[in-house]
Amino acid sequence: MSKRIDVKDLNVYYSKFLAVEDVNIGIEAKSVTAFIGPSGCGKSTFLRTLNRMHEVIPGGRVEGEVLLDGDNLYESGVDPVTVRSQIGMVFQRPNPFPTMSIKDNVLAGVKLNGKKISKSDADSLVEKSLRGANLWNEVKDRLDKPGSGLSGGQQQRLCIARTIAVKPQVILMDEPCSALDPISTLAIEDLINELKSEFTVVIVTHNMQQAARVSDRTAFFNIAGTGKPGKLIEYADTATIFSNPSVKATEDYVSGRFG
């Protein structure tokens, strides 16, 4: 249950401003791919184009192709809703629905779409998803309590549980640990390692150690200066990027000489 993503000649715009230029990348199925780079280099923007969340922002549009196992997401006639149910997303700040209980948050993808689900199916889906997000043992006694009562790290794992409950092919994570403490971060990183046995995971992170710890492949994005578009500089196995990068800028960045 996972698909690969291939991006061809992708340009990303905010109205007329070219934010990310000419990206070509192939993201392997059942692997963890990390995007690293300085702030404002367009890695989050690029990530959001992979499940058509970019166009939610007024003026957001793209040129080029994003292929999910060969199917172009941006072909006319493709419903963004279908795309997003196949490619889930976890955001920087944990954002459980405040009006819903923990259980309803996990079931949100099913219930909000108005699908009928029997109580036993719902219960097993909740348990499976929460176990998948390593949260079951912590919340199994208070499934009917509001999700906003959990700690930040638990909320983020709840958001991951909510995402895997809709059984996507790919999970995109936009700096999922940047609002969390080190212990919660560790929990999420362990979880990412488990998730890759079932899903294709793409993670944006500012934390290079995190990229080195969790990812199989790493893409380095950079920007020539403010107002210039961000570009994909180098994309290789994580070990190569961190030990023997072929581009000088990558080496400078991963060794901490800038950024």
Taking CB under 8 A as the criterion, the residue among 149, 209, 239, 248 binding another protein is 149
- Examine residue 93 and tell whether it contacts another protein (CB under 8 A): yes
Tokens read off for 124: 């097993």
Ranges within 153-212 binding another protein (CB under 8 A): 159, 162-163, 166
Both tokens of 7, joined, read: 């991006």
- Minimum CB distance to another protein, residue 228 (Å): 27
Nearer to another protein, 53 or 130 (CB): 53
Q: Which CB, 51 or 222, lies closer to another protein?
A: 51
Distance of alpha carbon 196 from alpha carbon 212, whole angstroms: 15
Residue choice 70, 98, 182, 256 for contact with another protein (CB under 8 A): 98
Which residue do the tokens 């819903």 mark? 100
Backbone angles phi and psi of 162, in degrees to 5 = -60, -40
Nearest approach in angstroms of CB 92 to another protein is 9
Residue from the set 42, 88, 153, 245 that interacts with another protein by CB under 8 A: 88
> Residue 163, SS3?
helix
CA 240 – CA 227 distance, rounded (Å): 30
Q: How far is the CB of 142 from another protein (least distance, A)?
A: 8
Among 12, 19, 25, 53, binds another protein (CB under 8 A): 53
Options 37, 42, 60, 109; binder of another protein; rule CB under 8 A = 109
Instruction: Say if strands 32-36 and 60-68 run parallel, antiparallel, or are unpaired.
Output: unpaired
Q: How far is CA 244 from CA 121, 236, 238, 247, in A?
A: 49, 10, 10, 9
Q: Identify which range of 98-106, 130-138, 185-193, 242-250 contacts another protein by CB under 8 A.
A: 98-106
Q: Which is nearer to another protein, 136 or 216 (CB)?
A: 136
Figure out which of the listed residues 24, 99, 244, 255 binds another protein, where binding follows CB under 8 A: 99
Q: Does the footprint of another protein cover residue 14 (CB under 8 A)?
A: no
Number of residues near another protein (by CB under 8 A)? 33
| Ordered DSSP codes for 119-137 | HHHHHHHHHHHHHHTT-HH
The neighbouring-strand residues paired with 65 are 8
Phi and psi (nearest 5°) for 136?
-55, -50
- Find the largest Cα–Cα distance for the chain: 57
**Shortest distance, position 2 Cβ to another protein, whole Å:** 17
Residues 64-83 that bind another protein (CB under 8 A): 81-82
Task: Assess contact for 1 and 169: CB atoms under 8 A.
Answer: yes
Q: Cα(first)–Cα(last) distance of the chain, in Å?
A: 37
Binding site for another protein (CB under 8 A): 51, 53, 56, 58, 81-82, 84-86, 88-89, 91, 93, 95, 97-99, 101, 108-109, 111-114, 142, 145-146, 148-149, 159, 162-163, 166
